[in-house]
Amino acid sequence: MRRAVHAEWTKLRTVRGPVWLLLGTVAATVGAASVTTAPTLVGVYLGQAPIAILGVLVITGEYTTGMIGTTFTAVPHRATVLAAKAIVLATAVAAAVLGSLLAGRLVLGHRAPTGEAAAGTILYLILIALLSLGTATAVRDSATAIGAVLALLYVLPIVSRTIADPRWQRVLQKITPMPPDPADPWTPLAATATWTTAALLTATVLLHTRDA
């Protein structure tokens, strides 16, 4: 596992794409924080898109025309590769989001999220990254995975607000991944954690059942 994690970390920090996506998250979060009265929610809504794309690209680069590439061939246990990618991805996202929150603190002063709200924001974006990783592992296609995750993050919340039946509206709102509310940072994370767990479990099963 240690070698797999080291290899994934080397790939992440030496490829330009992931670095720019992480910087894009920082810029989106801090930029939104400087012009809005709801810095946490708006910043997270903008910052979750590059995080989702990063989570997808971390794994889809291992496939060539849908077939398993050299990393999975070199490491006999495919779940080890997925776990190593998840560890490196979660660490990188946590560092980037923490950096954006600290930068936002300098910009916003007392309006910056602190304590539980900040912790909820970091955890939420880690879950989004891992959700994207699991989804991309399952479908093996960048465009499909990015489209599916972004639809879940941006389209489903809009659809939930257009439902006329209040009962179904509440159901959709409960199962939709939502950024943490500063007033209640933990409850909205339950749906996100459920989606992420399902995606990673599905990815693990498919990694073991597919021949190539």
Dump pLDDT digits (tens) for 175-200.
888 887 767 778 789 999 999 999 99
CB 88 within 8 A of CB 59: no
* Residue 68 bridge partners (DSSP): 63
Confidence (pLDDT) at 64: 59
Q: Is the pLDDT of residue 115 over 90?
A: no
Q: Whole-model pTM above 0.85?
A: yes
Report how far residue 161's alpha carbon sits from residue 66's, in angstroms, rounded to the nearest whole number.
Answer: 36
Helix (H) or strand (E) holding 63: strand 63-64
CB 44 within 8 A of CB 50: no
What is residue 180's DSSP assignment?
P
Confidence (pLDDT) at 144: 95
Q: Letter for the amino acid at 204?
A: T
